[in-house]
């Protein structure tokens, strides 16, 4: 299984400003001074191998959309934030316009998690088939409502792909597209659902928009079991712990600190920080990643958790 | 959880020991509670000296946050001091150093909270 991130930003899509682009260019040029980078090959090697990630890349600004590339022919996604627009366009460019089968697991129906669907071109093309799974009883209504006046000029009925909505029950296992899938209710405004997705002994947990107040030991235990032995836990780390339990308490998000602890308790193999705070620039997210790796290191006992920070374009092979 | 207490004039210093994590946070909270009741406007101040704490998890930090909120609501003052290097790093990474008053030593915390407490500490 391979996990590909198309949208990793929390709450609202963001774009780099021209000042931020200029800041990166200046940093790169200063770092390159005297290096004789007089060919594209030399310059590329320098950028790829020597520049810091926050200078040579960006974490990106699309909202939540994660693809699970499985053994099967179908396309599997978690959430339909603005990142799905890029996924759809890339798919059409490389695999043609029709004959695609999509399965989408929705964490919840807040705007940043559904807003990409009106721009998902395969949904407008006949011969494609999209099944959207979720646990909310307003699943279909949320998608139809955003794809009509006054919110959008093209009505949902103009989407010519076959589109189905399937309600799932939390805590029940389903076999979908060759995957074993189980949803779990999470603490978030209106409720959100995490997904534990398994195939051939590989386990991915998609757990975004989830606040962990940690005031109920049974709840902590249930989440640790949900994350148990996962190869990858994609975890909402939008806030610092201090913010999450003070000024932003009950805002429905979690922190890098809790992500590390839960993955340590669950003996998960990898933790991927996700749903990045929209006000954070690349340097800030890179620093958050470095701090989280340090936290994992100084609190490690007999189990190492590999820590990643998601970015638009990141691929993790399991 | 072991929680020794020592009074310096109008300030009580508390000394937890060991790990404050999922297994011990409730006991830490219970041990802290009786000392916090009197930390209020016109009453005591409090310093939690963390020199004996080798690790604190998010649940333990949550106990400190609740204590801080309670004391603020009572109009009192609460500080933490003397963090071991690992605990200090956990404070920084969790940004607790930005929401709690953190001092390098008990002496500095007492000096900030109460001249009388500092005088009592110096003469002890």
**Local confidence band at B1 (pLDDT 50, 70, 90 cut-offs):** confident
Say if the Cβ atoms of A245 and B57 lie within 8 Å: no
Q: Which residues of A140-149 are buried (b: 16+ CB within 10 A; e: fewer)?
A: bebbeebbee
Rounded to whole angstroms, the Cα distance separating B50 from B30 reads: 17
Q: Domain locations in chain B?
A: 3-119
pLDDT confidence of residue B42: 87
pLDDT digit of tens for each residue in chain A (318 aa)? 999 999 999 999 999 999 999 999 999 999 999 999 999 999 999 999 999 999 999 999 999 999 999 989 999 999 999 999 999 999 999 999 999 999 999 999 999 999 999 999 999 999 999 999 999 999 999 999 999 999 999 999 999 999 999 999 999 999 999 999 999 999 999 999 999 999 999 999 999 999 999 888 999 999 999 999 999 999 999 999 999 999 999 999 999 999 999 999 999 999 999 999 999 999 999 999 999 999 999 999 999 999 999 999 999 999
Which of B45, B32, B42, B33 has its CA nearest to residue B2? B32
| Closest alpha carbon within chain B to A241 | B94
Say if the Cβ atoms of B99 and A255 lie within 8 Å: no
pLDDT confidence of residue A214: 86
Residue A43 three-state SS: helix
Taking the Cβ of residue B89 and every Cβ of chain A, the question of whether any pair is shorter than 8 Å is answered with yes
Kindly report the nearest CA distance between residue A217 and chain B, in angstroms.
8
For residue B57, which residues of chain A lie inside 8 Å, CB to CB? 261, 299
Are the C-beta atoms of B52 and B4 separated by less than 8 Å?
no
Cα-based angle A243, A248, A250 (whole degrees, multiple of 5): 130
Find all residues with CB under 8 Å of B37, minimum gap 6, and list them. Answer: none
| Closest alpha carbon within chain B to A247 | B99
Cα-to-chain-centroid distance, residue A244: 20
Rounded to whole angstroms, the Cα distance separating A107 from A94 reads: 28
> ipTM score here?
0.92
DSSP state letters, A198-227: EETTEEEEEE-S-------HHHHHHHHHHH
Rounded to whole angstroms, the Cα distance separating A280 from A289 reads: 12
How many of the other CB atoms lie within 10 Å of CB of A205?
27
| Closest alpha carbon within chain B to A296 | B90
Taking the Cβ of residue B99 and every Cβ of chain A, the question of whether any pair is shorter than 8 Å is answered with yes
Residue-wise pLDDT for B14-69, tens only, equals 999 999 999 999 999 999 999 999 999 888 999 999 999 999 999 999 999 999 99
The CA–CA distances, whole Å, from A123 to A100, A131, A142, B22 equal 10, 11, 16, 47
Say if the Cβ atoms of B58 and A258 lie within 8 Å: yes
Q: What is the CATH code for B3-119?
A: 3.30.750.24
Q: Which two tokens stand for residue A162?
A: 């076959």
Nearest to A257 among B22, B58, B86 (CB): B58
A 213-232 residues with CB below 8 A of B? Answer: 214-215, 217, 220
Are the C-beta atoms of A1 and A69 separated by less than 8 Å?
yes
**Local confidence band at B2 (pLDDT 50, 70, 90 cut-offs):** confident
Rounded to whole angstroms, the Cα distance separating A7 from A26 reads: 27
pTM of the prediction? Answer: 0.96
**Local confidence band at B119 (pLDDT 50, 70, 90 cut-offs):** very high
| The pLDDT of residue B111 is above 90 | yes
The number of CA neighbours under 13 Å toward the Cβ of A46 is 16
Taking the Cβ of residue B22 and every Cβ of chain A, the question of whether any pair is shorter than 8 Å is answered with yes
pLDDT confidence of residue A198: 98
DSSP state letters, A100-158: -EEEEE-S---HHHHTTGGG-GGGGSTT-EEEEEES-TTHHHHHHHHTSTTT-SS-GGG
Residue-wise pLDDT for B73-91, tens only, equals 999 999 999 999 999 999 9
């Amino acid at each position: 299984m391979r996990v590909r991130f198309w949208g990793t930003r929390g709450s609202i899509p963001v774009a780099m400003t021209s000042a931020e682009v200029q800041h990166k260019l200046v940093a790169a040029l200063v770092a390159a001074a005297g290096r004789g980078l007089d060919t594209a090959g030399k310059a590329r090697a320098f950028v790829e191998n020597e520049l810091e990630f926050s200078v040579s890349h960006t974490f990106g600004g699309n909202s939540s959309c994660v693809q699970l590339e499985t053994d099967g022919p179908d396309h599997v996604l978690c959430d339909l934030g603005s990142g799905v627009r890029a996924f759809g366009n890339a798919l059409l460019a490389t695999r043609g316009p029709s004959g695609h089968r999509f399965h989408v697991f929705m964490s919840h129906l807040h705007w940043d998690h559904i807003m990409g669907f009106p721009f998902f071109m395969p949904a407008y093309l006949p011969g494609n088939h999209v099944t959207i799974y979720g646990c909310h009883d307003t699943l279909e209504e949320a998608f139809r409502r955003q794809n009509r006046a006054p919110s959008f000029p093209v009505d949902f009925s103009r989407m010519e792909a076959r589109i189905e909505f399937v309600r799932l029950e939390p805590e029940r296992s389903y076999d979908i597209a060759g995957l074993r899938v189980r949803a779990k209710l999470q603490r978030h405004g209106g409720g959100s659902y995490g997904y534990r997705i398994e195939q051939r002994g590989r386990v991915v947990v998609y757990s975004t928009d989830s606040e962990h107040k940690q005031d109920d030991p049974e709840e902590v235990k249930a989440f640790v079991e949900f994350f148990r032995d996962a190869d990858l836990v994609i975890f909402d780390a939008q806030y610092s712990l201090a913010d999450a339990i003070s000024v932003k308490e009950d805002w429905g998000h979690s922190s890098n600190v809790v992500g590390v602890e839960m993955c340590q308790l669950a003996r998960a193999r990898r933790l991927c920080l996700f749903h990045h705070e929209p006000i954070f620039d690349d340097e800030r997210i890179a620093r958050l990643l470095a701090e989280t790796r340090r936290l994992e290191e100084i609190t490690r006992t007999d189990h190492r958790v590999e820590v990643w920070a998601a970015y638009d374009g990141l691929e993790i092979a399991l | 959880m072991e929680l020794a207490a020592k009074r310096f004039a109008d300030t009580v210093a508390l000394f937890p020991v060991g790990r404050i994590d999922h297994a011990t946070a409730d006991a830490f909270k219970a041990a802290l509670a009786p000392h916090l009741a009197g930390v209020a406007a016109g009453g005591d101040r409090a310093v939690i000296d963390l020199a004996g704490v080798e690790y604190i998890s998010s649940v333990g930090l949550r106990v400190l946050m609740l204590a801080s909120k309670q004391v603020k609501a009572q109009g009192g003052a609460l500080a933490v001091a003397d963090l071991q290097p690992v605990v200090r790093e956990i404070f920084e990474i969790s940004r607790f150093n930005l929401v709690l008053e953190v001092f390098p030593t008990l002496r500095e915390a007492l000096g900030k909270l109460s001249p009388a407490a500092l005088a009592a500490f110096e003469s002890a």
